Structure 1
Amino acid sequence: MAALRYLSECRRPENGTRSLCLAIEEPELFQHPAQTRVFAEVLRSLVASADDQTQVMYATHSPVFIDPSDYQQVRRLYRVSGGEHPEVRLRALTETELRQSLEDHVSEKSIARRGTTRYVKELAEALFADAAVLVEGATDESILLAFAERQGFSLGAQGICVVNAEGKDNLILCHAILTGFGVRCHLVFDADSGPRKTADADTEKKTEALRASIVKTAKILSYLGAPAEANPATASEETHTVFEDDLDTYLEVHWPAWNARRLELIAQGEGYVDNKHGPTYAEAARTANGEPKLLHALMENVRAMPGRPAPHA
């Protein structure tokens, strides 16, 4: 790394400017995990200044070296089968293309800010997947992974990545970035407008939050090309799964054994706690009796994604 820094600081005598193109094949090889992150930061720092004429290119299988907020710098290579010979294609995404795909759905200010995508940790990993399931939060992710394990299959082994988008507001932007790179996506989100949420809106603040959530839900459905309903019913479709209240409420009502098992785990202690807690939710989904039909439908739609054509560029 010291040598790389030195090379980037060298100047050509004839004009005094830096001129270096550094190409690295799989920079993650033989690296300790913590050192890998440091190495990725060093490589980015070499080109951090706009005045520097230093270019760094690398081919990698590690999400550590991918910064989703700088998606314009990413080139995704993927193999296409089915012909006489395997074919490798390249996908890239410009800001202009992203803006066009998000027109009337996400503000230009939100697209330009890009800060949220930097902190969606699994977004970089999803660029290596065939398909991605985008969920609102960590407990949703835990439940889906545990339910898949309960069925005896691994989503990762089938090329499917579950991405915690860190909130409902980030779902559309994350979806647009991934589909722009040819990754098939399925959205899982709460409508937050069902009977329980409506009954709980007993203050002005809660009522305003309910209205805002209804608008967000309609935007997501419109973006997906589905009817922009204000109060959609719980359903799993090819492109998305929506819960009229939220996933927690659905499980409590339609999988009471899950809630009973969750409470049992909390009573036992041993690291399982009350409220929204990923490990507790996951263990309940993994070990409770019975299974809700909707989660089976969700898994069927998700597992069918790798066989579908990649999104158009």
Structure 2
Amino acid sequence: MKVTSFNINNYKSIGSKDNFLSVDPKVTALIGKNESGKSNILEAIGKLSFNRPLSPNYLSNKNRGASGEVSIIVHLEYYQSELNQFEVSQANTSLSFIDNTTIKIEGGLSELVKDDELLMEAINDVLELNIRSVWGNESKRIKSVQDYMNGLKVITSHVYINHSAKLGHLKSWITNAYKSKEDLIDKIEIIDNCLAKHYSLLPSMYYREQYPQLEASYKYDDIKDIFKDTNHIFYRFLIAAGITEHEIVDAFEDPIDGNRKTVRNRIVRKIKNNIEAEFNEFYNQEKIEFQIEFESRVFKIYILTDDKAMNLSERSNGLRWYISIFVDVLSREHKNSSLVYLLDEPGVYLHVNAQKQLLELFSRLAERENQVIYTTHSPYMIDSKDITNVRAIEKVEEGDTKIFKSAYNQNLSNDSKMETLSPLVQAIGADLKFNIGPSSKNNLITEGITDYMYMNAMINYLGIDSAPNIIPSAGVSNINRIVSILFGWGCEFKILLDYDKAGYKEYDVLVNKLDETLEDKILFVCCNEEVVKEKMVSNPQTIESLISEDDSKQLSTPYDGSSSSKKLAAKEFHDKVVNKEIELMDETVYNFKTLFEALNIQDYNLTTVRN
């Protein structure tokens, strides 16, 4: 299952308002100034487990100014592969963590458990038993059995916490005097197996408060203890490579010299095949090779670049960090359930190109039914081709963290809007020139984020390689500010305006107050020069006007002219088009191709696609 959102209540700086985090199906970026509360959000999410309730320590992290208690609600939905596997009418699921004893379930997963006839029949058979005749008369045991039975009674509305341990106890506690002991054990194992299958649909959280770096060498005596710590970075390195504890023992302790050499060669091959090959696929700053040496009773790691071998500790912190997080993340993919990777400032030690490659790693992880949520201050850690996955985090005067559904929310502070070109730039704390800069020769300014989403979706749909750098303004009235900066930097750009009163008002500001030469850079959505010259908006047109009625009907939340549906429709259109979930009508394709031709994005033979 994939997470769609979190409701985080009263955890540290997060209060009971503006505490809803919408999560992208693949990668979500959290941006905001230092001390805005980004790390608190990751911590609140990362310390969750769907197999245990909130701990007392978790609940003690209460927002000092809040009247309510700490709680969190997680909203999920099935992946398409899971929908194909299970026949369920309710796809959405919510899990509520409200105390240190229970996790409530509603929706799809609850229905899936309820509709499992084999599971429910086994539970009913167990619940019908006389507890004392099966498990004896010892008072403490009877109380535990009763508690376990109460959990089974509400199995469709509550997670059965630590089900394997509890059901294992039930099996071991059955008295030998009970005649149908083996039959009961079978029923308990059915319950255990069915719950394990259903609960495996829930994702696991990958969260590190710190990023330990892989060391250059490890003593064998220390490695034996490391195998007891499944979170140790060297243990994750071995798991990622597929190296077993038995192989490490044989590599150092096998009394036959030839056997030791054989297993050592096997370990080296596994590292090259399972780590080195995949690492070089994404880290193309330089090609590296891992060289492993077994010197005395020490496991040593060397990095070979251009035939020059260096001890891992001699390489840059950036490369060591990248290798460490790469193997840590790679090792988690050996789990059966999907993962939500929570990464706090993951690119802080990396140079610009390496940061961009980290985004490629995130995309790769998301392709395997995982999700990534990360925080950043770096403009290089924002995917300029798709900024719809960015969430802005801001701390208000009262000290509470405020979570916005996008980086282009009009409710961000006025200082954010006035001091920078857009809320996105202010939230990053960076300068827009890092993203578009004077060297950029092809920029397109749109009125807002919805225009960006439609344009980006159609550029993706048509497979346009020479697409412009789209800069969404925080509202049409802010376009002139962006234009002023681009003029100063010597950037080439065009401006796309809606054919409505607000669009013409900004047109007048741009042409009559800023620079009359801008007239040649402005295009209205309708692309009709004769209509535009009349400067009379008799039939207003926006970017949504380019979407055919049939395509609009394919959206669960079509644009109906209201502000509430505007962004929802744009986001759904964008996601469905990019993920190839809908086939667009020729009318929509023709309208956008006409617009793109007018913007000189790409030439088309329009007559071949017209209805």
TM-score range, shorter chain: 0.3 to 0.5
Q: What's the TM-score once normalised by structure 1's chain length?
A: 0.43
Higher relative contact order (CA 8 A, sep 6+): 1
